[in-house]
């Protein structure tokens, strides 16, 4: 996304206001909560800085912002996991909404492929969000830690296939017209793609939606392997369709968190802006960075954050 210059100025203006307000608050001699630790504006500014760097790392490491945001902010900031998950979903949603128009209009993402899968995923994301908000926090922490460590294993093991061979579309995907033509702008190659194993893919998206809603993670880490390796969509179509699908699935879960009151503007908004600005910088750094090194850094961060979530869940 290339934001309008006015949008960039607006971002800067908002954070200038935070700092200005911080000066006023300091001058007014803040009450107890602020004296005991960082004041609100300190946490908000720190959150903005951290999410800015998460946005950079997420792009360079080829992961979504949500999967880094929830375990890291949940593990190292004083916010309750309920609010972190709510903000995590909004972070993932905002990123997907920003990327969606370009991916759809270029034909990289496919509405035909996404719609049936997103239907099941979004319904289960609502269920996941409700389960996540009903479960005790330590149980969610434990499950989150386990999931994050599982994602690390997946990142190590999962292979990718640029153009998987799908000899014949299955009857369900053929009936739903889950196919298309993808022209790779880099190679100029046009590929007629189709998918198979649709029933298995649909079943996987039920589970993915459940986890996305429960942990507020976004779910690109799971969407792409299922679309690419299981169903046989070309890699770029899988990545783009996955990103677009997040805008649908996370919408469903985000409403549950919003209606439950699990959204605090002071956490959600700086995070959304920080991650989006960081992503813009990340895209610029992409050509000059060693992707495998960054990927190792991402895996290290996830290991650390996943381990911390597990320990918090165990009360250690």
Partner 1 sequence: MDMTLPSVASAKTTETVSQPQPLAVSQEQLIYANLLDIGMKAGMALLIVSFGLYVSGILSPLVPLNELPNYWSMPVNQYLTATGVGTGWSWVKLIGHGDFLNFIGIAFLSAVTIACYFRIIPIPFRNQERVFTAILAIETLVLILGASGILVIGH
Residue 169 contacts residue 201 (beta carbons within 8 Å): no
DSSP strands (E only) in 11-141: none
Here the tokens at position 134 are 């009903």
Q: Is 248 in the site for partner 1 (CB under 8 A)?
A: yes
Which of the ranges 78-86, 143-151, 280-288, 296-304 carries the binding residues for partner 1, by CB under 8 A? 78-86
The region of 59-67, 120-128, 149-157, 220-228 touching partner 1 under the rule CB under 8 A is 120-128
For partner 1, the closer CB: 110 or 238: 110
Q: Which stretch binds partner 1 (CB under 8 A): 142-150, 244-252, 288-296, 306-314?
A: 244-252
Give the footprint of partner 1 on residues 2-41 (CB under 8 A).
7, 10-11, 13-14, 17-18, 20-21, 24-25, 30-31, 33-34, 36-41
- Least gap, CB of 150 to partner 1 (angstroms): 25
Binding partner 1 (rule: CB under 8 A), the pick from 146, 179, 251, 289 is 251
169 binds partner 1 (CB under 8 A): no
Q: How far is the CB of 299 from partner 1 (least distance, A)?
A: 29
With 0-12 CB in 10 A as exposed, 13-18 as middle and 19+ as buried, what is 300? exposed
C-alpha distances (whole Å) from 129 to each of 145, 232, 281, 312 are 17, 29, 31, 20
Beta carbon of residue 238, minimum distance to partner 1 (angstroms, whole number): 16
What is the DSSP secondary-structure string of 269-315?
HHHHHHHHHHHHHHHHHGGGS-HHHHHHHHHHHHHHHHHHHHHHHTT
Among 198, 202, 200, 246, smallest CA distance to 221 is for: 246
Nearer to partner 1, 61 or 244 (CB): 244
CB atoms within 10 A of CB 256: 20
Task: Out of 23, 111, 154, 297, name the contact with partner 1 by CB under 8 A.
Answer: 111
Check: CB of residue 155 under 8 Å from CB of residue 299: yes
Q: Which of residues 204-223 bind partner 1 (CB under 8 A)?
A: none
Cα 152 off chain centre by: 15
Site for partner 1 contains 130 (CB under 8 A): yes
Residues 36-65 that bind partner 1 (CB under 8 A): 36-41, 43-44
């Amino acid at each position: 996304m290339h934001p309008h210059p006015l949008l960039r100025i607006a971002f800067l203006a908002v954070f200038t206001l935070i700092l200005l307000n911080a000066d006023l608050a300091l001058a007014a001699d803040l009450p107890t909560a602020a004296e005991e630790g960082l004041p609100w504006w300190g946490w908000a500014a720190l959150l903005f800085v951290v999410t800015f760097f998460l946005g950079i790392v997420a792009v360079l490491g080829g992961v979504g912002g949500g999967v880094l945001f929830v375990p890291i902010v949940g593990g190292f900031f004083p916010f309750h996991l309920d609010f972190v998950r709510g903000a995590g979903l909004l972070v993932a949603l905002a990123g997907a909404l920003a990327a969606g128009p370009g991916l759809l209009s270029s034909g990289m993402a496919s509405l035909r492929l996404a719609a049936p899968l997103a239907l099941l995923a979004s319904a289960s994301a609502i269920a996941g969000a409700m389960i996540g908000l009903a479960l005790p926090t330590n149980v969610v922490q434990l499950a989150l830690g386990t999931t994050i460590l599982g994602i690390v294993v997946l990142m190590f093991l999962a292979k990718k296939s640029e153009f998987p061979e799908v000899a014949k579309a299955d009857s369900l995907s053929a009936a739903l017209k889950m196919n298309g033509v993808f022209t790779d702008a880099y190679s100029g190659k046009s590929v007629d793609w189709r998918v198979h194993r649709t029933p298995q893919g649909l079943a996987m998206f039920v589970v993915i939606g459940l986890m996305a809603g429960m942990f507020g993670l976004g779910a690109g880490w799971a969407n792409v392997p299922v679309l690419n390796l299981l169903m046989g969509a070309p890699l770029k179509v899988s990545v783009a369709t996955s990103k677009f699908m997040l805008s649908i699935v996370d919408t469903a879960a985000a409403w549950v968190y919003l209606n439950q009151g699990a959204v605090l503007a002071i956490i959600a908004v700086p995070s959304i802006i920080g991650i989006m600005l960081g992503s813009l910088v990340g895209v610029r750094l992409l050509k000059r960075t060693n992707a495998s090194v960054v990927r190792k850094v991402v895996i290290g961060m996830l290991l650390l954050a996943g381990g911390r979530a597990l320990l918090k869940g165990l009360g250690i």
